[in-house]
Structure 1
């Protein structure tokens, strides 16, 4: 037996395992991990790109992974864009890393700027590079924009990009999340703010509750429309919307 363990294992024929059988086998391993004294660690990349079935969505996937992670012998490390169905469920644990912030100093843009400064010392050329879209990002951005499939969402996304850029250029200020939350209202009725039923109650507490709900909903809309091409950044008074990368 010991000699067999040391020899590489090879199957005589290709085994066909259905998704259902593989799922059941994996679930059985996880269910018995504690009793078998087995420690499991799963690393899952691009969770937001996981295809769903007509009867299951990302919320179902989130619940499944949380069920796995509830077992003492199972640890899971997930990587994903800010899909609301995922972040709303996993962010409550407070154990999240924004990798683009942690690796910002090693980004491709910084690398290009360093190379330019080291070879020519031209500050103006380095600034020009900073404003260009690195070719390595072009495919990625094309893919992200292509995922905005619905025409209405794509329109909202482009309008958001225009507002962010316009405010940066004219007023040097970010687009607030609260202001962004009224985009849909404006598209439905440009004079909505003049209506009597403008959505802010008279009492202070009720007004606060309505504003808080608008901001929560706006965060989900922001990702659903813009697919991570813009992000929220802390400001002096409130969070503001900015491009994830200045070359966007």
Structure 2
């Protein structure tokens, strides 16, 4: 799965990587948690009939997808991930898979390897592309409207089976869309879910590197570059206090990365 990730690249780098015409400045974020605002990239309608490729725009959404048909948001589970193998069939995701596929800019993600024994602590890893840079997770988006007429844009990240390089840490990983496949993934007008199913696969074993990091990443309040520094997993300090849950923004709330 993917329960925490980071986007520490400069806005200019993100703008160029995704071929965006505009992108507002935003600060680096090293510990993005569920219910927090995230940047997504979506296709817009082409400016004219002669254009073959829709334009792309960035949008702030809440991480945690809410299908449009949900009646009680408090009783509905937080959908931060969608299993790519079944997303086109699941009621919560099938409409988004057909009509609202997006890209989620990231610098990498965190994953935890469970320790041996019932009381053993889990070792967190910072998993980033070798050499750094920006990557794109496959995502799904829904705009949820509450009974009072308020709207909030929400999203989930698609996952797939972990490749052999990461399977010893966790059995799932985010789906990474390569730049050459951006247009096809975002094209929901002519590309049906079955047409892009081949993109929902693990990246090659040499794409990512996994770096053991401090348990400080467990606390959502911690958001700095030190979270990604390599540590010796055999020389960890005692576990910090239990993580505080992230505050969820109500539907209709204004999103901000600051």
Query: TM-score interval w.r.t. the shorter chain?
Result: under 0.3
Higher relative contact order (CA 8 A, sep 6+): 2
Which structure has the highest helix share of the two?
A: 1
Larger Rg: 1 or 2? Answer: 1
Structure richer in strand, relative to its length? 2
TM-score (norm 2): 0.23
- Normalised by the length of structure 1, the TM-score is 0.24
